[in-house]
Amino acid sequence: MRLRGKLQRVNHFELFGLPQDFELDIDQLEERYRELQRTFHPDKFANASALERRLAVQRAARINQAFHTLEQPLERARYLLELHGVDTDGERTKVDQAFLLEQMNLREALAEIRNQPDPAAALSELTEEIRHRTESIVQQLGEQFRDASEHSLLAAREGVDKLMFLNKLQREADELHDELLEY
């Protein structure tokens, strides 16, 4: 079997035949992922030349990386910003004071969970608050990418920062949940 197509020259959206948009049909993404995996899986090239086997491994890795980027809202937003030429790794020139206060309050709430009369209930409540805030930011990102003006893309950049914080806080809450289950 010979390798077909030039997967390296297309962006992740083009690779999966999807519109370059923040709001995606995840079921369609998963279906296209499975189709590409069936076509380009390295096992299909077991009897091919060493070069074709190596290319198959590289293409499968590219497909996996593209899928995982588009599957997660945070990574999809970062990728879209990159496609629009917006740096997501550079330093921020302005800091949203309200969000800094929100971060401090959420961190403090997480730190105090163990001291609550019912830590599991307090953690559940905090997790629900994180989920609600995350959903709100994801919805805003959808609107900002639809508009795609310079102002909206800069606002989306701030949304990515907020989403990064909330994802990290959720991971820490999950770790605390696991810790509480041990007792």
Do 97-182 and 7-71 have the same topology in CATH? Answer: no
Beta-carbon contacts of 39 under 8 Å, excluding residues fewer than 6 positions away, are 4
pLDDT of residue 6: 45
Q: Which CATH number does the domain 97-182 belong to among 3.40.1000.10, 3.40.640.10, 1.20.1280.20, 3.40.50.300?
A: 1.20.1280.20
What does the pLDDT average to over 60-84?
A: 97
In this predicted model, which residue has the larger pLDDT, 171 or 3?
171
Structure confidence at residue 47 as a pLDDT band (50, 70, 90): confident
Q: Is CATH 3.40.50.300 what the domain over 7-71 is classified as, yes or no? A: no
Q: Residue 159: CA atoms inside 13 Å, Cβ hemisphere, count?
A: 29
List, for residues 163-183, the tens digit of each pLDDT value: 999 999 999 999 999 998 886
List, for residues 13-33, the tens digit of each pLDDT value: 999 999 999 999 999 999 999
pLDDT of residue 105: 96
**pTM of the predicted protein model:** 0.85
List, for residues 93-133, the tens digit of each pLDDT value: 566 889 999 999 999 999 999 999 999 999 999 999 999 99
Query: Are the C-beta atoms of residues 109 and 45 closer than 8 Å to each other?
Result: no
What does the alpha-carbon distance between residue 128 and residue 120 come to, in Å, rounded to a whole number?
12
Query: Are the C-beta atoms of residues 41 and 84 closer than 8 Å to each other?
Result: no
Which of 85-99, 127-141, 142-156 bottoms out in mean pLDDT, i.e. has the lowest?
85-99
pLDDT of residue 93: 54
What does the alpha-carbon distance between residue 180 and residue 113 come to, in Å, rounded to a whole number?
10
pLDDT of residue 181: 86
In the chain, what are the domain boundaries? 7-71, 97-182
